[in-house]
Amino acid sequence: MEDLVASARRSIHKFLEMHSIAPYRPPLSGEFCLKRGFQSPDLYGMADAVYVLYSLGELATWTSKASRARWAACILSCQDEKGWFTKNNEKGYPKEHATAYAIGALRLLEVEEDEQYVARLRPIDDLFPLLSKPSCVGQWLERLDFRWHPGSVLRKNLGWHYIWRGSHNGGGVAATIGMLEGVINEVWRWKVDVEMWFQSYFEWLDQHIDPETGYWQRAFWNSLWKRPTVVDMGGAAHFYWIYEAKMRPFPYPEAVIKSTLHLQKPNGLYKEKPFCIDLDGNFLLIRSYRQLTQDRQEIWREKVLAAVDRSAKTILQVLSGQKLEQIYSDLHSLPGAIIGLIECSKADETAWGEILSGWQHPLDRVMWL
């Protein structure tokens, strides 16, 4: 197994090098692009590389304090006049996802105590009315920015009707607020009650979850089809990341386990290749299992641990045994696969924590990826 882990590291570094515009040697300063062949750094390329190196436990080794400062400055330059990270977004994800992802990367770049890159963000104007009026939380969650016009449909911005993408809004905004909690009141001086906002946020989500599946199934087609889908699972995970980060109990953890196990393929994956959806599935299984009482864990232990083991073995085999450029068309799919593997180390009754010694889980420090 050690040979597979070492091989995976080499494959990952080779793939990173293909997306590096500058020479790939320390100290790196963030000159990465989303797709091979691009001529200049872009938001997702720069952020993806941060998450990858951090996950391998090598970010500090491959950078210096000065190079991290340059890296952070390049990411910060992608903020627009309203505070959202919309510039150089070659991935095309909504501003809510891009902003939370960029803030997470900035947090991870803060290797030393005096590196305070997130505090340099300009205020995100649209968050103030949402935070200052608690009654707006429910109205915002009801819609998740969905509007009946062709632009929303073309951007897959369908709110609850396509919750995997809609949760980029509902989870991404919450993650942004959570990661900026100190900045909002101490730097921006908004003087809002962030904890009260999260209380309203979780209360609404608790009231609108499907107790049979543990997922949020509020699409128009759910009136006819309730069987959980991978789309439901991907959307649910973005909310459960926030639950876990804020130490909020999951409303129906056993229902989550049952739904997620049903969606896993025999080889341990949830789609054809490992990417962020595998993190979502492993996260939902492991974090839900950890919230169960001991007697309920006894009931689910064998199935959950077997599912985790299948996933970890397949992801590691893919990362170590193939040329990653033949699997992934851009850099953004890689962090999810790596972190999906690392998530397996959170299952205490497996050997994956020892096998992946030195690898780090970004969600231990940030609320989004």
In a domain, 153, yes or no: yes
Q: What is the pLDDT of residue 252?
A: 98
Total domains present in the chain: 3
Residues 254 and 334 in one domain: yes
User: Which residue range(s) make up the domain with 350?
Assistant: 225-363
In a domain, 160, yes or no: yes
Residues 164 and 86 in one domain: no
Q: What is the pLDDT of residue 229?
A: 96
In a domain, 243, yes or no: yes
Residues 74 and 134 in one domain: no
Residues 230 and 349 in one domain: yes
Residues 136 and 116 in one domain: no
Residues 21 and 82 in one domain: yes
Q: What is the pLDDT of residue 155?
A: 53
Residues 167 and 146 in one domain: yes
Phi and psi at residue 246, in whole multiples of 5°?
Answer: -95, 10
In a domain, 68, yes or no: yes
Residues 115 and 133 in one domain: no
Q: What is the pLDDT of residue 146?
A: 46
Q: Please tell me the distance from the alpha carbon of residue 56 to that of residue 95, in angstroms, as a whole number.
A: 27
In a domain, 368, yes or no: no
In a domain, 219, yes or no: no
In a domain, 215, yes or no: no
Query: Which of 148, 178, 208 delimits the end of a domain?
Result: 208
Burial of 349 (0-12, 13-18, 19+ CB in 10 A): exposed
Residues 255 and 327 in one domain: yes
In a domain, 214, yes or no: no
Query: Which of 122, 145, 160 delimits the end of a domain?
Result: 122
Residue in 140, 146, 144, 186 with CA at minimum distance from that of residue 167: 144
Which residues have C-beta within 8 Å of that of residue 312, sequence separation ≥ 6? 268, 341, 344, 350, 352
Q: What is the pLDDT of residue 150?
A: 47
Q: What is the pLDDT of residue 152?
A: 46
Q: Please tell me the distance from the alpha carbon of residue 334 to that of residue 315, in angstroms, as a whole number.
A: 11
Q: Please tell me the distance from the alpha carbon of residue 322 to that of residue 316, in angstroms, as a whole number.
A: 10
Residues 174 and 113 in one domain: no
Going 190 to 196 to 197 to 198, the CA torsion angle's sign is: positive
Query: Which of 63, 89, 122 delimits the end of a domain?
Result: 122
Secondary structure (DSSP) of 70-127:
HHHHHHHTTB-TTS-B-TT--S---HHHHHHHHHHHHHHH--STT---GGGPPP-TTH
- Tokens 């952070």 sit at which residue? 72
Secondary structure (DSSP) of 282-300:
HHHHHHHHHTS-HHHHHHH
The whole-number mean pLDDT for each consecutive block of 10 residues of the chain, a chain of 369 residues, reads: 94 98 97 96 98 98 98 98 97 96 98 97 96 89 65 61 92 98 96 96 97 93 87 98 98 98 98 97 98 98 98 98 92 98 96 97 98
